[in-house]
């Protein structure tokens, strides 16, 4: 009798503490709505319909340079970008694993820029690339591979351990989006309609060692194998971002690798590719050549859509009602957002639509 | 015996004028005597009675009252 | 391993469950296993030192006890034959033999400590002296990694050995049990220095689960974590900054550094002890208190009776008294009585032993001159106030207002500030620098830092100050209430539900307001290096 009472009291205390902490955790976890919206990219996927023929994985050079809406509207290709800021190659690999739990695309497109990072880089980016994932073996492996020395696994399981001290920096967003974020993306695409011409793009300084790390090669191999096992075509690309600098020595290694394993490799920085896409770095980038804006992304997607159709067995699926229905909504939001940003640009000089231009 | 007790009370009174050493039985427990007092007391007692008080005799039971002190000194003299 | 490591916390929770699930007679073995694991985690080689201490103590205390027993038997066997003087002489002789064993044990252990903790310090000083004579040759300076908590477990164990020598209690016959007494893990990091007769019984008893006791223990652990993680770790970056650049942070900054360090040390050390005692309480093992609201002390003598209590009583029982009543000291007393007058002769032993004890206390805290100067200054203040006791009495008799509570409060603040100033030696770790920084508190009157926003540039944000201020108020209130008995017990007495709510609140406070994780430097408990 007495024992039961003690057990009950213990459980009641644990439960109360747990519920309160969970509620608090929700409050202090970054909402990534007004600021650093990229933090929501990974989680956004689970809200999408899981019927995509093409899957992009990689860093910002994916989610800001390709427009899935354009691919759908022009070619009837259903695609999704599982991109995140400074997504490292193992993160791309585990995101691929994670996506394969939900669906099986026909083509996977991987942006090779992250081959340059052989080690965990930055806690903030890790959080954005990993935290949004649903729990699975892949997520656990991803955390373990991604953690910098100062991080702990436990703080991924209980993010309150990481964000506990944010109580002093809470903003309106933390309360407004307490029960969930609003969709900010368009099948994983981050839309920007402003433009800032690329000027004086710095050339890469010479490196002492151009070889990619073993870790990166290992994950590239695993990615290739995973695709082969699932009968998925793997396409390596290097997006047409002028910076960070993509060294010819690096390009050479990827080219050799692709040849050796008969993979497709498209380097959009090649002059003929740049000419073919019609990109103009005066008008098609929003931050001086790092990322494309929506106009650039559409040009690039136009070319890439043709490429995909010509190389792979991809049907035009725009007549499938369920899919069309889903995409209709995405396209509507996409065009509305473009329009909103254009209007804001005219009115306020920035896409956010605030009097001050702190973009 | 009474002579010893009398001398001890005298020494104690010299340390603290305002304490009733005749009847007080919690000199250590109530922190009436601090470690300085104890050491001074031991030095006085050794001088007066020509006994050696080793460190292991310094326990509250031996220092709590004039009677306890008398008993300890008597035993030490007997040994 | 630190109390704040997540591994420690998980291990502790696991230990609590296993402890109460296994049969009573195996519980102490579990504690021994946990202690060894805990210690091994800090470095497997450290186990060697603690094993040497445990083993040598075990063998020699056993030996001393057997000798004492044999001696007693001889005396009773020759009861009728020997005269009283013969018996006395025999006993003396036997005690001397035992004393040799004790000396061997003490020399072995303190020698070990001297070499690894003080070797470098000694050799550096020797080299300096050699340098004075123009000799360029220097002796090699040893460089040992200080095993965790060595000053704590070594003193505890030697206290036990001396007690066995003094026949205060029989020695422990089971080596594994003694090893547990030596290495009991909650005490390894920063004490307290327990006594065998206080600790051992609880340690081996394997007391069962008692809901109220366990709950109060858990609350005490959480309270300790609150102090440690919420306050000490939060203010630590500011303390580190203020003492890292003495050229920039002078005057009021030095004052601020002194105050911040006072809070940091108090919260860190008492918090750690709360965790230790709380763990003991959960396990049903009473552990000696180490603090008793030290900042409420009216003078430094009282402060040292209430701060790090177990260290003070250790030095009193095993150093101060033996030195004071040793034959040479009594001879000195006699000599000075004859030559220098009664008054001086009476107090000389006390003064000499006080200075000796504080010299050693300084050394105990660290192998550096700043600690020695710190210790000696403590002694000087204590002796001066001892001399002035009579004057104080007259003052209090004359001035009625000096007996009010307000005056008590003033004395407490004065003591706290005085101890803070002495602690500056501990901060700057350099004797001339400390004096200089102390001087700037009076010469450099940069009071504007308190309102011109400088306070916000000390690694502390407004939110941090809010938490710290609230924390200090809570600590103060808890201490005020605590004078009339344990706050936790009183809350439990009032209502069990309220007590449970407090536990939940403490968990939330630690997790939400704790300064842990990325963005805060993880700090080591200040006291575990000593």
Residue A108: strand pairing partners: A55, A234
Judged against a pLDDT cut of 80, whether residue A359 lies above it is answered with no
Q: Tokens representing C42?
A: 């800090």
Q: Are C88 and C105 in contact (CB under 8 A)?
A: no
Separation CA C282–CA C291 (nearest Å): 19
Separation CA A159–CA B6 (nearest Å): 75
Which of chain B's residues have a Cβ under 8 Å away from the Cβ of C354? 36
Task: Supply the pLDDT for residue A71.
Answer: 95
Look at residue A241 and give its three-state secondary structure: coil
Q: Are C113 and C150 in contact (CB under 8 A)?
A: yes
User: Considering its fold, how many domains does chain B have in total?
Assistant: 1
Judged against a pLDDT cut of 70, whether residue C524 lies above it is answered with no
Q: How many residues does chain A have?
A: 359
Cβ within 8 Å, pair C508-A17: yes
Which of chain B's residues have a Cβ under 8 Å away from the Cβ of C88? 79
Nearest CB to A168; choose among C463, C511, C517 = C463
Q: Which residues contact B36 (CB under 8 A, 6 or more apart)?
A: C350, C354, C386
Q: What is the dihedral of CA C522, C525, C528, C530, to 10 degrees?
A: 100
Kindly report which listed range (A181-185, C135-139, C194-198) carries the lowest average pLDDT score. Answer: C135-139
Judged against a pLDDT cut of 80, whether residue C523 lies above it is answered with no
pLDDT for C150-203, tens place per residue? 899 999 999 999 999 999 999 999 999 999 999 999 998 888 999 999 999 999
Backbone angles phi, psi at C126, to 5 degrees: -60, -45
Q: Are C197 and C168 in contact (CB under 8 A)?
A: yes
Q: Are B15 and B40 in contact (CB under 8 A)?
A: yes
Q: Which residues contact C520 (CB under 8 A, 6 or more apart)?
A: C233, C234, C237
Cα Rg for chain A, rounded, in angstroms? 22
Cα–Cα separations (whole angstroms), residue B40 to B12, B65, C249, C342, C343:
10, 16, 46, 12, 11
CATH number of A38-317: 3.40.50.1110
- pLDDT band at residue C136 using 50, 70 and 90 as cut-offs: low
Q: What percent of chain A clears pLDDT 90, i.e. is strictly above it?
A: 71
In 3D, which of B38, B56, B44 has the Cα closest to residue B8? B44
Separation CA C309–CA C194 (nearest Å): 10
In 3D, which of C347, C349, C301 has the Cα closest to residue C324? C349
Q: Tokens representing A288?
A: 């001086």
Q: Tokens representing C13?
A: 């929770």
Separation CA A233–CA A228 (nearest Å): 7
In 3D, which of C146, C147, C228, C149 has the Cα closest to residue C188? C149
Separation CA C142–CA A342 (nearest Å): 72
Task: Supply the pLDDT for residue C350.
Answer: 84
Separation CA C39–CA C24 (nearest Å): 24
Cβ within 8 Å, pair C508-A161: no
Q: Are C215 and C503 in contact (CB under 8 A)?
A: yes
DSSP, residue by residue, C285-319 = -------S-GGG-SSHHHHHHHSSHHHHHHHIIII
Residues on C contacting A at a C-beta cutoff of 8 Å: 6, 211, 461-463, 496, 500, 503-504, 507-508, 511-519
Separation CA A335–CA A342 (nearest Å): 10
Separation CA C499–CA C519 (nearest Å): 33
Separation CA A203–CA C336 (nearest Å): 88
Q: How many CB atoms lie within 10 A of CB C506?
A: 20
Residues on B contacting C at a C-beta cutoff of 8 Å: 34-36, 38-40, 42-44, 46-47, 52-56, 58, 79
* Neighbour subunits, A (≥3 Cβ pairs < 8 A): C
Domain spans, chain A: 38-317
Separation CA C14–CA C281 (nearest Å): 16
Separation CA C295–CA C307 (nearest Å): 8
Kindly report which listed range (A196-200, A209-213, C508-512) carries the lowest average pLDDT score. Answer: A196-200
Task: Supply the pLDDT for residue C530.
Answer: 40
pLDDT for C3-57, tens place per residue? 888 899 999 999 999 999 999 999 999 999 999 999 998 888 889 999 999 999 9
In 3D, which of C226, C220, C503, C508 has the Cα closest to residue A12? C503
The angle at the Cα of C26, spanning C25 to C30, to the nearest 5 degrees, equals 145
Judged against a pLDDT cut of 50, whether residue C525 lies above it is answered with no
Backbone angles phi, psi at A56, to 5 degrees: -95, 135
Q: Are strands A107-111 and A233-238 parallel, antiparallel or unpaired?
A: parallel
Cβ within 8 Å, pair C461-A168: yes
Whether pTM exceeds 0.95:
no
pLDDT for A40-63, tens place per residue? 999 999 999 899 999 999 999 999
Q: Which residues contact A285 (CB under 8 A, 6 or more apart)?
A: A195, A196, A197, A198, A242, A291, A292, A293, A296
Q: What is the DSSP letter of C141?
A: P
Which of chain A's residues have a Cβ under 8 Å away from the Cβ of C514? 164
Separation CA C105–CA C174 (nearest Å): 18
Separation CA C65–CA C165 (nearest Å): 7
Chain C neighbours among A 116-175 (CB < 8 Å)?
A: 123, 150-152, 154-155, 160-162, 164-165, 167-168
Nearest residue of C to residue B16 by CA position?
C390
- pLDDT band at residue A65 using 50, 70 and 90 as cut-offs: very high
Residues on C contacting B at a C-beta cutoff of 8 Å: 88, 166-168, 301, 316-317, 320-322, 324-325, 327, 329-330, 333-334, 337, 346-347, 349-350, 353-354, 386
Q: Are A107 and A55 in contact (CB under 8 A)?
A: yes
Judged against a pLDDT cut of 60, whether residue A240 lies above it is answered with yes
Peptide bond into A244 cis (omega under 30): yes
Which of chain C's residues have a Cβ under 8 Å away from the Cβ of A13? 500, 503-504
Separation CA C402–CA A199 (nearest Å): 79
Task: Supply the pLDDT for residue A41.
Answer: 92
Query: Where do we find the tokens 């859509």?
Result: A305
CATH code at position B51: 1.10.1200.10
* Residue span of the structural domain in which B26 resides: 2-78
Angle (deg, nearest 10), helices A2-28 and C496-513: 30
Q: How many CB atoms lie within 10 A of CB C223?
A: 23
Separation CA C252–CA C254 (nearest Å): 5
Nearest CB to C504; choose among A17, A155, A164 = A17
Backbone angles phi, psi at C207, to 5 degrees: -60, 150
Q: What is the DSSP letter of C232?
A: I
pLDDT for A138-161, tens place per residue? 999 999 999 988 888 999 999 999
Burial A86-116 (b: 16+ CB within 10 A, else e): bbbbbbbbbbbbbbbeeeebbbbbbbbbbbb
């Amino acid at each position: 009798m007495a024992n039961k009472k003690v057990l009950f009291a213990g459980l009641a205390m644990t439960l109360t503490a747990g519920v309160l902490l969970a509620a608090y955790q929700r409050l202090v976890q970054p909402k990534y709505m007004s600021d650093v919206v990229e933090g929501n990219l990974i989680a956004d996927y689970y809200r999408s319909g899981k019927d995509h023929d093409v899957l992009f994985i990689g860093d910002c050079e994916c989610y800001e340079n390709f427009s899935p809406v354009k691919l759908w509207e022009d070619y009837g290709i259903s695609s999704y970008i599982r991109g995140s800021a400074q997504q490292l190659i193992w993160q791309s690999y585990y995101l691929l694993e994670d996506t394969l739990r939900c669906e099986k695309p026909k083509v996977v497109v991987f942006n090779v820029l992250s081959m340059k990072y052989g080690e965990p880089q930055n806690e903030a980016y890790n959080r954005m690339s990993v935290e949004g994932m649903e729990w699975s073996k892949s997520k656990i492996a991803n955390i373990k591979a991604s953690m910098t020395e100062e991080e702990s696994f436990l703080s991924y399981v209980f993010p309150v351990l990481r964000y506990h001290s944010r109580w002093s920096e809470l903003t309106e967003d933390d309360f407004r989006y307490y029960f969930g974020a609003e969709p900010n993306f368009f099948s994983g695409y981050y839309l920007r309609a402003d433009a800032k011409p690329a000027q004086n793009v710095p050339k890469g300084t010479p490196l002492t060692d151009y070889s990619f790390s073993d870790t990166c090669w290992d994950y590239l191999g695993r990615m290739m194998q995973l695709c082969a096992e699932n009968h998925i075509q793997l396409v390596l690309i290097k997006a047409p971002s002028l910076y960070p600098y993509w060294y010819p020595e690096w390009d050479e290694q990827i080219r050799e690798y692709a040849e050796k394993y008969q993979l497709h490799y498209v380097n959009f920085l090649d002059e003929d590719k740049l000419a073919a896409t019609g990109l103009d770095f005066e008008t098609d980038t929003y931050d001086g050549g790092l990322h494309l804006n929506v106009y650039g992304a559409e040009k690039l997607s136009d070319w890439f859509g043709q490429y995909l159709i010509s190389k792979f067995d991809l049907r035009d699926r725009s007549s499938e009602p369920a899919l069309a229905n889903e995409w209709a909504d995405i396209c509507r939001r996409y065009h509305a957002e473009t329009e909103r940003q254009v209007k804001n640009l005219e009115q306020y000089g920035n896409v956010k639509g605030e009097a001050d231009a702190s973009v | 015996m009474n002579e010893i007790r009398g001398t001890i009370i005298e020494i104690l009174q010299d340390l603290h004028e305002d304490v009733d050493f005749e009847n007080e039985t919690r000199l250590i427990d109530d922190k009436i005597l601090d470690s300085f007092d104890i050491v001074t007391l031991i030095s006085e007692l050794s001088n007066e009675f020509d006994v050696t008080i080793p460190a292991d005799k310094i326990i509250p039971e031996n220092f709590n009252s004039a009677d306890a002190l008398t008993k300890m000194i008597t035993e030490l003299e007997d040994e | 391993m630190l109390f704040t490591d997540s591994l420690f916390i998980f291990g502790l929770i696991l230990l609590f469950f296993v402890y109460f699930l296994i049969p009573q007679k195996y519980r102490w073995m579990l504690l021994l296993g946990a202690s060894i694991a805990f210690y091994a985690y800090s470095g497997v080689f450290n186990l060697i030192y603690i094993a040497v201490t445990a083993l040598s103590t075990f063998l020699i205390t056993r030996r001393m006890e057997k000798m004492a027993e044999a001696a007693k038997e001889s005396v009773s066997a020759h009861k009728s034959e020997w005269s009283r003087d013969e018996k006395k002489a025999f006993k003396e002789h036997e005690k001397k033999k035992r004393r040799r064993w004790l000396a061997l044990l003490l020399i072995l252990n303190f020698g070990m400590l001297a070499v690894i903790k003080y070797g470098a310090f000694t050799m550096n000083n020797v080299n300096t002296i050699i340098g004075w004579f123009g000799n360029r040759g220097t002796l090699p300076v040893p460089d040992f990694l200080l095993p965790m908590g060595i000053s704590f477990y070594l003193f505890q164990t030697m206290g036990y050995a001396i007690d066995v020598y003094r026949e205060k209690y029989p020695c422990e016959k089971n080596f594994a049990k003694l090893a547990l007494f030596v290495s009991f893990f909650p005490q390894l990091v920063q004490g307290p220095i327990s006594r065998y007769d206080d600790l051992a019984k609880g340690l081996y008893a394997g007391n069962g689960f008692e809901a109220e006791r366990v709950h109060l223990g858990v609350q005490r652990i959480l309270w300790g974590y609150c102090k440690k993680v919420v306050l000490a770790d939060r203010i630590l970056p500011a303390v580190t900054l203020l003492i890292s650049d003495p050229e920039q942070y002078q005057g009021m900054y030095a004052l601020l550094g002194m105050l911040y360090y006072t809070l940091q040390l108090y919260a860190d050390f008492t918090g750690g002890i709360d965790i230790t005692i709380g763990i003991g309480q959960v396990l049903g093992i009473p552990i000696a208190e180490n603090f008793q609201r030290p900042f409420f002390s009216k003078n430094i003598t009282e402060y040292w009776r209430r701060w790090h209590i177990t260290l003070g009583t250790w030095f009193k029982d095993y150093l101060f008294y033996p030195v004071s009543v040793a034959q040479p000291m009594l001879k000195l007393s006699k000599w000075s009585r004859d030559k220098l007058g009664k008054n001086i002769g009476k107090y000389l032993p006390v003064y000499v032993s006080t200075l000796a004890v504080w010299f050693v206390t300084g050394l105990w805290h660290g192998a550096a001159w700043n600690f020695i100067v710190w210790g000696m200054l403590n002694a000087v203040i204590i002796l001066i106030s001892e001399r002035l006791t009579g004057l104080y009495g007259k003052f209090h008799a004359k001035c009625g207002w000096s007996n009010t509570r307000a005056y008590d409060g003033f004395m407490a603040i004065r003591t706290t500030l005085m101890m803070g100033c002495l602690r500056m030696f501990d901060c700057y770790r350099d004797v001339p620098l400390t004096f200089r920084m102390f001087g700037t508190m009076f010469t450099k009157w940069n009071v504007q830092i308190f309102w011109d926003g400088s306070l916000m540039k000390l690694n502390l944000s407004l939110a941090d100050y809010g938490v710290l201020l609230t924390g200090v108020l809570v600590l103060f209130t808890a201490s005020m209430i605590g004078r009339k008995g344990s706050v936790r017990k009183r809350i439990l007495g009032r209502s069990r539900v309220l007590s449970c709510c407090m536990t939940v609140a403490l968990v939330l406070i630690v997790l939400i307001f704790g300064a842990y994780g990325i963005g805060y430097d993880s700090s080591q408990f200040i006291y575990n290096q000593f």
